[in-house]
Amino acid sequence: MRTTRSFTQPGRSLAVGERGMVATSHPAASVAAHDVLRDGGNAVDAAIAGVAVQCVVDPHMTGVGGDCFALYAPKGGAPIALNGSGRAPAAATLDWYAERGVAAIPDETPHAVTVPGAIDAWCRLHADYGSLPLERLFAPAIGYAENGFRITPRVAYDWAKAAEKLARHEEAAIQYLPGGKAPDVGDRRAQPALGATLRAVARHGRAAFYEGAVADEIVATLRAQGGLHTLEDFAAQTSNYVDPIQAAYAGVNVHECPPNGQGLAALVILRIMAGFDLASASLSEADRIHIHAEATKAAYRLRDVIVCDPAVTPVDVDRVLSEPFIARLRDGISLGQARPAEAWDEAIHRDTIYLTVVDRDLNAISFINSLFAAFGSAIYAPKAGVVLQNRGLGFKLTPGHANSIAPRKRPMHTIIPGMVTQGGQAVMPFGVMGGQYQSAGHAHFISRIFDQGLSPQEASDAPRSFSFDGVLTLEDTISPEVARDLEARGHTVAFTSDPTGGCQAIWIDRQKGALYGATDHRKDGLALGL
pLDDT in tens, 188-208: 999 999 999 999 999 999 999
**Whether residue 291 has pLDDT greater than 50:** yes
pLDDT tens-digit profile of 400-449? 999 999 999 999 998 999 999 999 999 999 999 988 899 999 999 999 99
CB 302 within 8 A of CB 295: no
Determine which one of 62, 197, 352, 421 is catalytic.
Answer: 352
227 is in an annotated binding site: no
pLDDT tops 60 at residue 345: no
Report pLDDT for 435.
Answer: 80
pLDDT of res. 340:
84
Q: What is the pLDDT of residues 456-509, one digit of tens each?
A: 999 999 999 999 989 999 999 999 999 999 999 999 999 998 899 999 999 999
Instruction: Determine what percent of the chain is predicted with pLDDT higher than 90.
Output: 93
pLDDT of residue 460: 96
Report pLDDT digits (tens) over 374-399.
999 999 999 999 999 999 999 999 99
Inform me whether the pLDDT recorded for 348 exceeds 70: no
pLDDT tens digit string along 351-372? 689 999 999 999 999 999 999 9
pLDDT at 349: 47
Mean predicted confidence (pLDDT) in 78-101: 97
Residue 352 bears catalytic tag? yes
Angle made by CA atoms 466, 289, 508, in degrees to the nearest 5: 85
Mean pLDDT value of segment 332-356: 76
pLDDT band at 9 (very low <50, low <70, confident <90, very high): confident
CB 414 within 8 A of CB 438: yes
**pLDDT 10s digits, 29-61:** 999 999 999 999 999 999 999 999 999 999 999
Q: Three-class SS of residue 242?
A: strand
pLDDT of residue 344 exceeding 50: no
Q: Would you say residue 346 has pLDDT above 70?
A: no
Q: Looking at residue 347, what is its pLDDT?
A: 52
Output helix, strand, coil percentages for the chain, rounded to the nearest 5. 40, 20, 40
Give the strand order in the sheet containing 493-496.
465-468, 471-475, 493-496
Residue 342 has pLDDT above 90, yes or no: no
Burial readout 247-277 (b: 16 or more C-beta within 10 A, e: otherwise)? bebeebbbbbbbbbbbbbbbbbbbbbbbbbe
User: Could you write out the DSSP letters of every residue in 417-468?
Assistant: -EEEEETTEEEEEEEEESTTHHHHHHHHHHHHHHTT---HHHHHHS--EEEE
Q: Is residue 350 over pLDDT 70?
A: no
pLDDT over 50 (residue 309): yes
Q: How far is CA 95 from CA 235, 312, 315, 412, in A?
A: 25, 17, 25, 20
Sign, CA dihedral 118-120-122-128, equals: negative
pTM of the model: 0.96
Distance CA 518, CA 201 (A): 31
pLDDT, tens only, 98-130: 999 999 999 999 999 999 999 999 999 999 999
Q: Which residues of 464-500 are buried (b: 16+ CB within 10 A; e: fewer)?
A: bbbbbeeebbbbeebeeebbebbeebebebeeeeebb
DSSP string of 344-376?
Answer: --SPP--EEEEEEEEETT--EEEEEEEEESTTT
Query: Coil, strand, or helix at residue 32?
Result: helix
How do strand 425-433 and strand 149-150 relate by DSSP bridges? Answer: unpaired
**3-class SS at 59?**
coil
